[in-house]
Chain A
């Protein structure tokens, strides 16, 4: 070993520590500037007038109506996703038909499509100019809670499918064959073997879909018509409060949505922790 090497070694370790610290510093600074500081400003603004003012805004009839509507439509959407998403994932993994890979690719379309476009397309098919007819009446769900559910279903479509699909792919078919050879019916095999295995996937997909549904805005702007007490969900409520200059009102309801988001992220983390308990 040359003397140069011996001399340079401590300097090198020193510079590596510095570069690690530098990259960590950049990551945390970026995250603070973009995410943490705005969130802090939001929480600060909502509590500016004291807890009493915060509570008064959050429990005002219009805000409560919006939050109730948001929650029940999101729960409906989460449940529909749990059933239809799981069926879709099962069909994509276990079934085989022409065009399956195309169907598989299309699942991700809601990730890639702007939400405002999603709302506009749903309005074209299910709105006042709908070409569809049911029992002699032309379909029109615009400005109703049905349109909220439809729009939320559109934007949350991939979540359950994409969390259940990999689990089903990895699931050993031998277990199911063993259950069948021991006399279990198709339904029993699903309930006892498949379902317990895919349940964590379904739950974390449902939680993600629920979070997305609660916060959804773009696809709802056009199709729901923003009618207070009728079709105004919380995100639209916040937007209309910002437009009318009521910052404290907007911030208070926004903090409620923020708390729901954090709660759901913690839940998803806990589900993942539970689902990977055998790998640890």
Chain B
């Protein structure tokens, strides 16, 4: 019995040391360094016009990308689970791709499509639409990388609830839209919310794809994550830490949301 107990403590120690070395230690140190010289110094670093602009831009991009990906995610999950159509395998593969693909590759693909010599870029520029190095490309890049989360959360829930209730609603005369609002959506709501939280976190934190397509014009196309890197490169470590801490606090809020919703999702 003592053998199994010491093994248990040993494994617990390994797991906790692993988390401390990789996650908690580094984060705690940055937290300490940020407030080393008081709250005021961190606040000064955060309240510069460029940093405020960077956070605004991040929020704008997120506010566009999340609703679009939520609607797409729900429609896509319903298509994958409930419908039969040619090319379903391809749709499935492309929805998962952003999970496995490097953000830099995503950025480059958009760069090639919307650049001056790209398939769309030249034509759009001729018609006065600037996509690359401005908001549209950054939004599209963010949509790309955060695309799968709602669909991936909703698909298993839809499979599990089955379509009996939906069919019952149909036989009672409900049309497709009514069935969706009254039956399907309430049944998948926690999965949708969970997916929205993951999507939001991914949008707020996106770096690589946006770094490629934004052109990084200070005060114009600089998001919060790009600003962290810019501050670091300009030897303003305090500024980089202060922005990082705000992003980390948002991440903690996301975690709280995930922890609160997971049991509900599993119970549904």
Chain A 194-225: CB-based contact to B (< 8 A → 1; otherwise 0) = 00000000000000100110111110011000
Kindly identify which residue among A38, A211, A218, A265 contacts B103, using a CB–CB cutoff of 8 Å: A218
Measured as residues with beta carbon below 8 angstroms from the partner, the interface class of chain B is: 35 or more
A51 at the interface (CB under 8 A from B): no
Instruction: Give the distance in Å from the alpha carbon of A157 to the alpha carbon of B22 in the complex.
Output: 9
Instruction: Give the distance in Å from the alpha carbon of A167 to the alpha carbon of B29 in the complex.
Output: 35
Given contacts A27-B72, A222-B229, contact A38 B144 (CB under 8 A): yes
Whether B105 contacts A238 by the Cβ 8 Å rule is: yes
Which stretch, B44-52, B160-168, B184-192, B197-205, touches the partner chain A? B197-205
Closest to A241 in B: B108
Chain B 193-212: CB-based contact to A (< 8 A → 1; otherwise 0) = 00000100100111110011
Least CB distance, B6 to chain A, in whole angstroms: 11
Kindly identify which residue among A16, A38, A118, A239 contacts B113, using a CB–CB cutoff of 8 Å: A38
Whether A265 contacts B97 by the Cβ 8 Å rule is: yes
Closest to A207 in B: B100
Whether B29 contacts A103 by the Cβ 8 Å rule is: no
CB-contacts of A44-97 with B (<8 A): 44-45, 84, 87-88, 90-92, 95, 97
A24 at the interface (CB under 8 A from B): yes
Whether B258 contacts A108 by the Cβ 8 Å rule is: yes
Whether B12 contacts A27 by the Cβ 8 Å rule is: no
Given contacts A87-B14, A97-B12, contact A23 B97 (CB under 8 A): no
Whether B232 contacts A109 by the Cβ 8 Å rule is: no
Kindly identify which residue among B3, B119, B140, B228 contacts A41, using a CB–CB cutoff of 8 Å: B119
Whether A105 contacts B208 by the Cβ 8 Å rule is: no
Dominant secondary structure at the A interface: helix
Whether A186 contacts B22 by the Cβ 8 Å rule is: no
Whether B79 contacts A27 by the Cβ 8 Å rule is: yes
A168 at the interface (CB under 8 A from B): no
Whether B30 contacts A121 by the Cβ 8 Å rule is: yes
Number of A-B contacts (CB under 8 A): 252
Give the chain A neighbours of B140 by CB distance below 8 A.
Answer: 34
Kindly identify which residue among B23, B93, B104, B259 contacts A110, using a CB–CB cutoff of 8 Å: B23
Instruction: Give the distance in Å from the alpha carbon of A131 to the alpha carbon of B106 in the complex.
Output: 37
Instruction: Give the distance in Å from the alpha carbon of A45 to the alpha carbon of B114 in the complex.
Output: 13
Whether B244 contacts A27 by the Cβ 8 Å rule is: no
Least CB distance, A112 to chain B, in whole angstroms: 4
Instruction: Give the distance in Å from the alpha carbon of A91 to the alpha carbon of B12 in the complex.
Output: 6
Whether A117 contacts B244 by the Cβ 8 Å rule is: yes
Give the chain B neighbours of A222 by CB distance below 8 A.
Answer: 229, 232
B251 at the interface (CB under 8 A from A): yes
Least CB distance, A25 to chain B, in whole angstroms: 10
Q: Report 13 cross-chain contacts, Cβ distance below 8 Å, ordered by A residue.
A: A26-B75, A35-B144, A38-B110, A38-B113, A39-B97, A41-B112, A42-B105, A106-B24, A109-B251, A111-B198, A112-B252, A114-B224, A239-B211
18 extra interchain contacts, Cβ-Cβ under 8 A, other than A121-B244, A186-B7, A221-B207? A23-B75, A24-B85, A35-B98, A88-B18, A105-B258, A112-B252, A112-B255, A114-B204, A114-B206, A114-B225, A114-B228, A120-B228, A121-B26, A150-B22, A215-B103, A238-B104, A239-B212, A250-B108
Q: Which 6 A-B pairs have the closest CB atoms?
A: A215-B102, A114-B205, A38-B109, A121-B26, A112-B251, A218-B207
